[in-house]
Amino acid sequence: MPKASLTSAETRELSTGLTANEAHELLASDRRRLILDVLDGRTTSLDLDELAVEVAAHEDGSDPADQNTLQQLRILLHHNHLPKMDEFGVLDYDPTSHCVQP
């Protein structure tokens, strides 16, 4: 009996480890897509503050962002986006040390 070919969705699931639903949930957020862009190609870790500065610069096109904006972004990253991305296994986030490992 011939072996059935994998669909493109099944191939992506195997290569990323995410189901199609998980990938859609992860990528539904513009900010999470931006975080992935910022981390793309990085091999070293960075801390939450560094990530917030880079994300803010990409979002607003302004460098540096004001401290209020950065504080709000750090809170959102820490409590929402980074834990979800860590849960899906696309990065490692240590909430105690605020270290992000691509």
Q: What is the pLDDT of residue 12?
A: 44
Q: What φ, ψ does residue 45 adopt, rounded to 5°?
A: -75, 165
Q: What is the pLDDT of residue 84?
A: 95
DSSP designation for 101: E
Can you give the pTM of this predicted structure? 0.79
Q: Which residue type occupies 36?
A: L
Q: What φ, ψ does residue 101 adopt, rounded to 5°?
A: -115, 115
Q: What is the pLDDT of residues 29-87, one digit of tens each?
A: 999 999 999 999 999 999 999 999 999 998 877 667 789 989 999 999 999 999 999 99
Per domain, the residue ranges of the chain are 29-101
Q: 29-101 in CATH: which number?
A: 1.10.10
